[in-house]
Structure 1
Amino acid sequence: MQDEKAMEIIHDIFGVNESFKLPDAIMEMLFDKERRETAMRRYLKEYDNDLSFDGFHKYYEAEQANRKKDKQDFTPDTVATIMSKLVGSSDMYYEPAAGTGGIVITKWWNDIKDKSPFFYKPSNNLYRVEELSDRALPFLLFNLMIRGMNAIVIHGDVLERSARGVFFVQNDLDTYMAFSSLNVMPYSDEVMKEFEIKEWTGERYPEHIESKLEVIKNERSISSTTKF
């Protein structure tokens, strides 16, 4: 797909006519399940149901990345593939500075290939990623959710341990064919301790819980007995 054509398609999917509007448009849509899943189905159609790579990679690097101010650069696909193979098979994955998700997508795709889509269960893998950029975060969340991943997403500074919020992305149906739900974890002392957050910064995200399983008791097990 040509870069210009890809840009037109991405803008059309999210209903924007200028690049600078896209991050906010995606973020707003993510909190509306019906609208976001309509967008996800459209994305799948445009990309021939191929989720093995980050379809936003080239677009974001060209239109959204702030190389001068934030030193944002993307990991080439070939390097992401090598890094994923070095990590190997694991039910727990952590990545700081995840960007729009290129490396974690490669890891997820390899996890699926290791088991085959017929035997892959999202609940067997938990991906924890962190990202500072307000621009990149909506793309990252969309990428995780359209792939039906179970993930913890911390929007904050990985070095200073300050965060604007923590998201829990969960595949409620636990099947490769389902999209994930979006949950905003509470701004509580318990969450701060669990994810080693020193302080909350910036505007807080609204209360938003979609999953039936309402809490992660710890990073390796999900519990429905303790509520937010």
Structure 2
Amino acid sequence: MITTEQINALLGIKESYQASDVLMKILFDKARREELFNRFLEIDWDLNKDMFHVYFEEEHANKKKYAQDFTPDSISTLVSKLIDAESKGMGGLRMDVASGTGSLVIKKWVDDRMKHTPFDYYPSMYFYQCEELSDRALPFLLFNLMIRGMNAIVIHGDSLSREAKQVYFIQNTHDDCMRYSDMNIMPHNDLVAKEFDIRKWLEEPVDHIENKDYPDYVKKVIENGPKGNKMAQ
């Protein structure tokens, strides 16, 4: 298991409180981000678990202000099994509200992959939607999705009021389970707001697109996404 000291060293920080801001800056630089992924995997290559679960809960969780706590691994495993039992016929869509750093969605991803052999599994078979309010947790959630090569929408905002800062589109561009995902930020337009029920934008839009296929791919995901993701079936 990767330690707090190792995580801080990889991020180039002395104090853990700096981690979220530093990590978010790295995530916006594809070359630095993928170099960081490689360095993490040299220390801990087990992607079946959230390597930040203990680190974030001990160093970053705001229990006093937000009563912020994280789901134990045993509960995440149980819930992922229940989700599978309840999602028959829904195609490849999985949704996780209050995702934190991604422990539950990682468990679901593991279950999804285990249904296939390494030769017939493709990331496009499954699509995940995560929603998270915390500015501190968001960079770790994005990291966890991208290092695993997942396809996902991440809404950074309040799941109850539907007020959001940004909507991230995490895309395995090559549909290759051995490749990392790209990060794109979706526009603040009426189509995006309607599809993801965004009632108010809390920040200015961010122009960040990492691949040329972004417009067409996003359009398909929007049209076929949470209401029946045909691309993931």
TM over 0.5, shorter chain: yes
For the Cα contact (< 8 Å) 2:128–2:153, is it kept in 1? Answer: yes
Q: 1:147 & 1:56 partners in 2: Cα distance? A: 14
How is 1:60-209 mapped onto 2 (pairs within 5 angstroms)?
Answer: 60-88=56-84, 91-201=92-202, 203-204=203-204, 206-209=206-209
The one-letter code sitting in structure 2 at the alignment partner of 1:134 is D
Q: CA deviation at 1:211?
A: 2.6
Structure 2 unmatched runs, 5+: none
For the Cα contact (< 8 Å) 1:130–1:153, is it kept in 2? Answer: yes
Q: 1:20 & 1:205 partners in 2: Cα distance? A: 26
For the Cα contact (< 8 Å) 1:149–1:169, is it kept in 2? Answer: yes
Q: CA deviation at 1:213?
A: 2.4
Q: CA deviation at 1:116?
A: 2.5
Any idea what the Cα deviations from partners look like across 1:70-125, whole Å, max 9, x if unmatched? Answer: 11111000110111111117511011100000000000011111113322111110
Structure 1 unmatched runs, 5+: 223-228
TM-score by length of 2: 0.90
For the Cα contact (< 8 Å) 1:167–1:184, is it kept in 2? Answer: yes
For the Cα contact (< 8 Å) 1:127–1:152, is it kept in 2? Answer: yes
Paired residues in the alignment total 217
Secondary structure of 1:120's match?
A: coil
Q: 1:180 & 1:146 partners in 2: Cα distance? A: 7
The one-letter code sitting in structure 2 at the alignment partner of 1:15 is G
Identity among equivalent pairs (%): 51
Any idea what the Cα deviations from partners look like across 1:160-215, whole Å, max 9, x if unmatched? Answer: 000000000000110111000000000111110110000001x3352001133222
Q: More relative contact order in 1 or in 2 (CA 8 Å, sep 6+)? A: 2
1:52 aligns to what?
A: 48
The one-letter code sitting in structure 1 at the alignment partner of 2:53 is H
2:43 maps to 1:40: no
How is 1:13-28 mapped onto 2 (pairs within 5 angstroms)?
Answer: 13-28=10-25
For the Cα contact (< 8 Å) 1:162–1:198, is it kept in 2? Answer: yes
Q: 1:64 & 1:52 partners in 2: Cα distance? A: 22
For the Cα contact (< 8 Å) 1:172–1:212, is it kept in 2? Answer: no
